Amino acid sequence: MSGLDQVVVADTCLSEIEGEKGQLSLRGYPIGRLAEEHIFEENLYFLLTGRYPTIEEIGNVSQQLIAAMQLDEEYLTFLETVPLHLDAISYLMVALSAINRQKFTWPPTRDQALHLQGTVLAILGQRQSRLEARPLTAPDAQLNFAGNFLYMIFGQRPTEDETKALDCYFTLTMEHGLNASSFTSRVITSTESDLISAIVGAMGALKGPLHGGAPSEVIKMLEEIGRKENIDTWLKERLENKEKVMGFGHRVYRTKDPRALMLKKVVKSFNREEGWLQLALALEEKAERALKAYKPNHSLKTNVEFYAAALFKTIGLPQDLYTATFATSRLAGWCAHALEQAENNRIIRPMSRYIGPKYE
């Protein structure tokens, strides 16, 4: 079937998407429950192992992540040579490819996954410090993963609501079935290549605008609209020209994206009355109503990318980091898929159907 649509290529215990019901669960638990009750580090451990860590274990996980965020001098010297004209994902791909692979033998392990999780954060922080010509910000052991992400990107301690919101985002987007990038990580792992190769390959898939670039497109749309007073006219013109309204609809969900519901709740909790955020909320209400009128046979509700864009804009994240921030969370899922693939590995080798000419 074209694009492997509806073709099952793997059994998994990682996540289940029930598109008709608008439900997503990770290892059997609703995604909203995980995001509300646990921080990202705990959910990361749960996704990789199938159980939540003890107090001692989560302490060890935090230590491993912090240690991975502290890049050695030789590696930092190399990173200074990576061109800054590269987009953030390409920068990550180059940087990860240069990691010493002695500890990344096959099969992949949880420790390897945790090391890469912390390293990706550190690389993005190093890149941002170079772009802003400021000293590198070292991680703070008193901050959680999301807090350190913001601290190392911005060079100043984040607020509690910013940390909580990004922590929620990381959990909500860490794993989502056998999407293009997760499938890529499994295919590469199935060849018994190392975990770094699987992650770099997955990033290449995520880089494609049909997969990881949606929040940036939402921002462009909102900037084009500009003011709440322009929404009705903009929507009418867009829909009559049969153009997409970015951030609405999903390949899998036939009703509300459960991640969007949770992220909307978090974004609305910010103690801010920014006109930009109010524009996003107003657009959601009017666009869903207009889409229902113009396309009555389609269920086009806001998806997670719509409110990811709202969150990123609200906390002031540079737009060129949007997809890389998505990669930082989805790395957890890629690693989990790699570990699961390696448990009972068989090389993934689908068939193709020849439709070209034949000659005698």
Q: Are 121 and 146 in contact (CB under 8 A)?
A: no
User: With the C-alpha atoms ordered 219, 225, 227, 233, is the resulting torsion angle positive or negative?
Assistant: negative
- Which residue, 51, 98, 46, is CA-closest to 71? 98
Q: Is the N-terminal amide bond of 350 cis, ω within 30° of 0?
A: no
Q: Are 198 and 185 in contact (CB under 8 A)?
A: yes
Question: Do 12-209+318-343 and 214-315 share a fold?
Answer: no
Q: Which residues does the annotation mark as catalytic?
A: 250, 305
Mean pLDDT throughout 193-222? Answer: 88
Could you confirm whether domain 12-209+318-343 is CATH 1.10.580.10?
yes
CATH number assigned to the domain covering 214-315: 1.10.230.10
- Which tens digits make up the pLDDT trace of 71-87? 999 999 999 999 999 99
Going by their DSSP bridges, the two strands 15-18 and 23-26 should be labelled as antiparallel
* Amino acid 112: pLDDT: 98
- Which tens digits make up the pLDDT trace of 125-150? 999 999 999 999 999 999 999 999 99
Check residues 332 and 223 and name the one with the higher pLDDT: 332
Mean pLDDT throughout 313-335? Answer: 94
Q: Euclidean distance between the first and final Cα of the chain, in Å? A: 29
Angle of helix 214-225 relative to helix 231-240, nearest 10 degrees? 120
The residue extents of the domains of the chain are: 12-209+318-343, 214-315
- Which residue, 315, 303, 269, is CA-closest to 17? 303
Asked if residue 205 has pLDDT above 80, the reply is yes
